Amino acid sequence: MKSAVLIFANHPLPVLGPDTEPDALALALLKDTLRNLADVDADVFLFLDPGQDPSQDKDQARATLGAGTFKLVSALGRNRTVQQRNAFRLVFSRQYERALLLDNACPDLPAHAVQTALDSLGWKGACIGPVPSSGQESGRIYALGFHTEGWMTEAFDQVDHNRPDLFHRLETLLLFYERKVRVLPEYAPITSLGQCAALAGRCQGTRFALLPSVRLAEKRPA
């Protein structure tokens, strides 16, 4: 069963700017995330922001990110929500049966957790990964997955992904359409470089402490 993992190079953490050198820590976070995903039995699609010259953008991104098995694709759509919807459409049109959209800075999310999420996507299946609630922000998600028989554009067309409490609104919609919804374990992706201290702290004493991004995070002033 063919599986795909979908990542946007600049969502939610901006990494690859059009005319500027990427921040070293932001770039390391993306690269470590891609490196972990190499152990997942899936093709990884990295979507670049729409540009004037897609071919040149891909060459530049490959030079910046280095070698890897991930596939570079130019995102299509007027905004991020439409681009994410179109990303699912793309892989399902290429005969993939399972697809998982993942935040771009998840360096300490184990590959086996991603594999388990993909394996859970059976017929009419969907999965949602909630982010732990905080005082300022609640209801965010770090992952959204579909089986090709459970895929529905309504998850993007009928749900505003920029409003609070996305997790519960998405879950309600999927259940209404009788999808088999699996809730993944909570995980906190990095959405801003101000979260560096938290990343370094939770990785202490684990194998993730050796990652380049975590080492850089330890040196970044709080």
Return d(Cα 204, Cα 216) in angstroms, integer.
13
Taking a C-beta distance cutoff of 8 angstroms, is the pair 92, 145 a contact? no
Number of independent structural domains in the chain: 1
pLDDT of 56: 84
Does residue 183 sit within a domain? yes
Does residue 215 sit within a domain? no
CA 15 vs. chain centroid, Å, equals 13
Residue 58 sits in a domain whose CATH number is 3.90.550.10
Return d(Cα 185, Cα 129) in angstroms, integer.
6
Task: From residue 88, give the alpha-carbon distance in Å to each of 20, 95, 148, 189.
Answer: 29, 11, 9, 21
* Main-chain dihedrals φ then ψ at residue 143, nearest 5 degrees: -150, 145
pLDDT of 136: 56
Does residue 87 sit within a domain? yes
Write the pLDDT tens digit of every residue in 101-134: 999 999 999 999 999 999 999 999 999 999 998 7
Q: Is 140 helix (H, G, I), strand (E, B) or coil?
A: coil
Residues 6+ apart with CB under 8 A from 15: 9, 22, 23, 26, 27, 29, 30, 104, 105
Write the pLDDT tens digit of every residue in 72-106: 999 999 999 999 999 999 999 999 999 999 999 99
pLDDT of 38: 95
Q: Is 143 helix (H, G, I), strand (E, B) or coil?
A: strand
Taking a C-beta distance cutoff of 8 angstroms, is the pair 102, 143 a contact? yes
Does residue 158 sit within a domain? yes
Taking a C-beta distance cutoff of 8 angstroms, is the pair 216, 200 a contact? no
Does residue 43 sit within a domain? yes
Paired strand residues for 37: none
Does residue 43 surpass a pLDDT of 90? Answer: yes
Does residue 46 sit within a domain? yes
Return d(Cα 59, Cα 61) in angstroms, integer.
5
Does residue 74 sit within a domain? yes
Taking a C-beta distance cutoff of 8 angstroms, is the pair 193, 25 a contact? yes
Q: Which domain holds residue 9?
A: 3-191
pLDDT of 222: 64
Does residue 11 sit within a domain? yes
Q: Is 83 helix (H, G, I), strand (E, B) or coil?
A: helix
Residues 6+ apart with CB under 8 A from 27: 15, 16, 64, 65
Write the pLDDT tens digit of every residue in 153-206: 999 999 999 999 999 999 999 999 999 999 999 999 999 999 989 999 999 999
